[in-house]
Amino acid sequence: MKNIGFLFICVTLLLAGCVTGTRTIELDVPEYSSDKTGSGDIYIGLIDDKRVFEVKPRSPSTPSVKGELASLSKEQLSSLIGRQRNGYGGAMGDVALPEGGSVLEEMRDLLTSGLEGRGYNVVNDENAPTKMTVNINKFWAWFSPGFASVSFETDLQCDVNFIGDLGDRSLDIRGYGLNKGQVASDANWQLAYRRAFVNFLEHFDSVMDAEGL
């Protein structure tokens, strides 16, 4: 029993480190390759962050911030991608993208990777034959402390709307990533996100298949 108690104290101390301030992590969008071949130019237009933040949500999977929610601009909220917690599960500091980063750009990079992986050409031309708009509804990571390990989870979901030569369509694209680690390190947060990104790209590919795109 003494050994078990000592182990719990060690895990708690590891989880408690550096959780009061903002943790900044950089995300890496993977390249994606599909066996399907699409063609044509696509312009990714408006991407809107529709996530709803709460002050003290019951679930850590709900976006929240440390401090006054009302004092943060939409641009500031768009840089937040998770919330740190102490060894007892209490909400602590924010998890954010590097300065200048936003979930809008991360989602743009994700969709670009998925489209180009299918053979489409993503262009910066509003007059492209096909246009896309996106609503981001979920883009969040959290962890749940456990006795000997921590579960890092990431949940992604967006509405992708096509207008133009590919037809007017609305697609629901999702991604989920799970990583179990020992310490609340940058690498463990990043791995949960990378797995969610890969899952998102695979789901995007399968939905495009189902739509005949």
Q: pLDDT, tens digit, for every residue of 44-70?
A: 999 999 999 998 888 999 999 988 898
Q: What is the pLDDT of residue 143?
A: 85
Q: What is the pLDDT of residue 88?
A: 65
- Calculate the CA dihedral of residues 181, 183, 187, 193 and round it to 10 degrees: 50
In angstroms, the CA 138 to CA 69 distance is: 18
Q: Is the predicted pLDDT of residue 193 greater than 50, yes or no?
A: yes
In angstroms, the CA 127 to CA 27 distance is: 31
Percentage of the chain exceeding pLDDT 70: 87
pLDDT in tens, 26-36: 999 999 999 88
pLDDT top residue among 10 and 87:
87
